[in-house]
Homo-oligomer: A and B are copies of this chain.
Amino acid sequence: MTLVSEHIEPDTSERILVVAERLFRQIGYQKTTVADIAKELHMSPANVYRFFDSKRAIHQAVARSLMSEVEVAAQEIAGRQGPAAPRLRELLVTIHRMNSERYVGDAKLHEMVAVAMEESWEVCEAHMLLITEIIGSVIAQGLASGEFQAPDLVLAAKCATTAMMRFFHPQMIAQCATKPGPTVEEMTDFVLAGLGSRSAAV
């Protein structure tokens, strides 16, 4: 029974998250109740509570899952072979594209992001620290190969990530989408120039 249960439970919790994410997108985070989620899954609210002890816990898990897709894609790019500059460019543009897809087309998801930033700051912070670390790992490769120049790797990673705020931060992506400003590719070139890359001065 233990084996079967171990097999079934992750699947059930996964199904809860898929339905929760859909309802958060369709009717908004505030208006979705645990009862709504349970009803869609033809189960009792009590059964949902066996997996997540609150709506906030479901919300955190949905946010974690959206963020970890970006982290996996970022790590895959950072782990590739080849020169650092084009890889850093691809990494920054990919984070922007994935965050835009996740948080911007969807007005209801803004609410979820705002809630995540208020109620689950530690989840957002862990994500941002990991993204900064992944960006730092590509910068480290560029420093090792002589493509980049920067006396302080950790600081360079923080500045490169911060410079991309307009393109990474869900609220800024949404707010700036129709506003004048550089494209993500132009901004990436500026960041590369800031890292002393000779291949890309704006």
Contacts and interface: CB of A to CB of B under 8 A. Distances in A.
A6 interface: no
Contacts of A97: none
Interface of chain A: mostly helix, strand, loop or mixed: helix
B159 A202 contact: yes
Interface in A15-37: none
A202 B162 contact: no
B150 A201 contact: yes
A43 interface: no
Interface in A117-156: 117, 125, 129, 149-152, 155-156
A202 B171 contact: no
A190 B129 contact: no
Contacts of A171: 171
Interface in A145-202: 149-152, 155-156, 158-160, 162-163, 165-166, 169, 171-172, 175, 179-182, 186-187, 189-191, 193-196, 201-202
Contacts of A193: 193-196
Given A117-B175, A129-B180, A201-B196, A190 B159 contact: yes
- Chain A interface residue number, banded: 35 or more
Max chain B Cβ within 10 angstroms of own Cβ: one of A159, A162, A194: A194
Given A151-B201, A160-B190, A163-B194, 10 more contacts: A129-B180, A151-B202, A152-B202, A158-B181, A159-B182, A159-B187, A159-B189, A162-B163, A163-B191, A194-B194
Interface of A: 117, 125, 129, 149-152, 155-156, 158-160, 162-163, 165-166, 169, 171-172, 175, 179-182, 186-187, 189-191, 193-196, 201-202
